[in-house]
Amino acid sequence: MRIFVYNCNTYIGKALVKELRKDERGYNRIFGCQTAAGGAPPTVKRLSTRDDPKKAKKMEEAIRSCSVVVLDLFNCTL
């Protein structure tokens, strides 16, 4: 399964990536975006950003291709 985790480099995001990576059927593919500070977990396949319009388009495509989208609203900005 393909899963997108918004802000995957925060504490909550890293915990979600760790828990969602392994499933009873095997490993899930994790995609995500990160805040400006910090690094993402190495298991995240593709990092997206919305700062650049071209990269924002790729982020939209990644979100649409995923079965599950997880938003960390605690660390989210408007």
pLDDT given for residue 58 in this prediction: 83
Predicted TM-score of the model (pTM): 0.80
- Six-digit token pair at 47? 């990092």
pLDDT given for residue 56 in this prediction: 80
Q: How confident is the model at residue 46 (pLDDT cuts 50, 70, 90)?
A: confident
Q: For 1-31, how does the pLDDT look when each residue is reduced to its tens digit (9 = 90+)?
A: 999 988 888 888 888 888 988 888 889 888 8
Between the CA of residue 22 and those of 30, 43, 64, 73, 78, what are the distances in Å? 10, 11, 22, 23, 31
pLDDT given for residue 65 in this prediction: 92
- Six-digit token pair at 77? 């900005």
